[in-house]
Amino acid sequence: MNRTDSPAWSDSTRCVHAGGADDPATGAVVTPIHQSSTFLLDDDAYAAIAAGRGREGLIYTRYANPSQRAVQARIAALEGAEDALVFSSGLAAIAATLAALTEPGGHVLAARELYGGTLGLLRDQLPRWGRSAGFADLRDPAAAAAAIRPETAVLYVETISNPTLRVADLPALAAFARRHGLLLVVDNTFATPLGVRPLEHGADLVLHSASKYLNGHSDLIAGAVAGRRELIDRIWLQLKALGGCLDPHACFLLERGLKTLAVRLRAHAASAQAVAEALAEHPAVTRVLYPGLRSHPDHVLARKLLACFGGMVSFVVDGGDEAALRLCRRLRLAKEATSLGGVETLVSLPFNTSHVALSAEERAAAGIPPGMVRLSVGIEDPPDLIADLVAALAGR
């Protein structure tokens, strides 16, 4: 029996069951790993190939695979979407989505505060495809409207920005996009569908680096896009043409990771709140950015929009980037590594990782002062994490 979804299910139930299908051959309760590159051809398959409908049948794993379908159905259910696709990375999902939504000559208007890889794709790669991107402060409607061109097709934003953790006003941006005839595309990696479902607030498509919270164990690179079937069909043509399909074994790992998303996220958010509050009290910390803190510039919006403030905390230490580097080296529990959203706490500095390509002035303009530390709070016990941070801040 296929357990695709039920409107009566809550998030935790969806995480465990949506998209799952008991295996008719064996009765296995876990989706089997269909580790096959290709499938037996029959008259229906030939007809589907001839009609360009390669997504519907099972022909070749770059087009479709049962392991991909199971995890796609789960992500679609979690995001409240008609359909979804998985990719071999978050950037593969973003690239295929932008390629599908823009024609040659087309333009993407994006927020200034974005993941570094997305910034690079927009700024450096889009022009190589005959497209272009512009950036504006999307919190300022007049500035955003002034940056729209006749050829602008897409408005692009992250729900919670990296590493400044600003929260996007999705309902306002959706209204703005509709008024100007743009498609609103939202990268929901930091918030997760349990924090907010952007499609319910008027977004057209929602993107994920599934390498982060959706998988949650720092052992997989994957991406996803979810939205209306008509748009997903267009993006599928790009997936098929550019490659970037997700391997069946990785689909199995991602589906397994998704089962615990609800319990993990609750633990991440509770720990992040405790860590943020402890850091805010510390004399060696000059600033803490966490949407769950009253001092956060978007706290009121975050309370309205987000069901959960997430597991990412950024803070600024006294003494600049040198002091931040020393702090990272002294941490014993938190691991100094890029990426985020895993069960283990990771710490990294924007100045020498995600935002290394920017000058000090550009970083300051992007809201990244010297000494900024980005913490992906894992699911360890908060007192252990706080003790680790306090000892490192004390120079021990």
The catalytic site residues sit at 62, 115, 187, 212
Closer by beta carbon to ligand PLP, 5 or else 158: 158
Among candidate residues 271, 384, 391, the one with its CA nearest the CA of residue 329 = 391
Token pair, residue 118, equals: 């997305």
State in angstroms the smallest separation of the CB of 215 from ligand PLP.
9
Token pair, residue 211, equals: 């390498």
Could you give the CA distance from residue 207 to residue 230 in angstroms, rounded to a whole number? 16
State in angstroms the smallest separation of the CB of 386 from ligand PLP.
25
State in angstroms the smallest separation of the CB of 84 from ligand PLP.
15
Task: Work out the burial of residue 276: count CB atoms within 10 Å of its CB; fewer than 13 is exposed, 13-18 middle, 19 or more buried.
Answer: buried
**According to DSSP H, which parts of 80-183 are helical?**
90-101, 116-120, 141-146, 170-179
> How far out from the chain centre does Cα 77 lie?
16
Token pair, residue 205, equals: 């498509």
Could you give the CA distance from residue 96 to residue 242 in angstroms, rounded to a whole number? 7
Question: By beta-carbon distance, which residue lies closest to ligand PLP?
Answer: 90
H and E: helices and strands count for the chain = 14, 14
Closer by beta carbon to ligand PLP, 5 or else 113: 113
Spell 121-138 as b/e; 16+ CB within 10 A means b: bbbeebeeeebbbbbbeb
Peptide bond just before 163 cis, omega within 30 deg: yes
State in angstroms the smallest separation of the CB of 256 from ligand PLP.
17
337, 348 in Cβ contact below 8 A?
yes
Could you give the CA distance from residue 301 to residue 191 in angstroms, rounded to a whole number? 14
Could you give the CA distance from residue 349 to residue 132 in angstroms, rounded to a whole number? 29
The residue length of the chain stands at 396
Cα dihedral across residues 390, 165, 253, 80: positive or negative = positive
Closer by beta carbon to ligand PLP, 117 or else 369: 117
Could you give the CA distance from residue 188 to residue 332 in angstroms, rounded to a whole number? 30
Closer by beta carbon to ligand PLP, 92 or else 392: 92
Residues of this chain that interact with ligand PLP (CB under 6 A) are 89-91, 115, 117-118, 158, 162, 187, 189-190, 209, 211-212, 221, 223
The amino acid that residue 342 corresponds to is G
Closer by beta carbon to ligand PLP, 4 or else 353: 353
Q: Return the axis-axis angle of helices 382-393 and 320-330, rounded to nearest 10°.
A: 130
Cα dihedral across residues 288, 294, 296, 301: positive or negative = positive
Closer by beta carbon to ligand PLP, 49 or else 221: 221
Closer by beta carbon to ligand PLP, 57 or else 198: 198
Closer by beta carbon to ligand PLP, 146 or else 357: 357
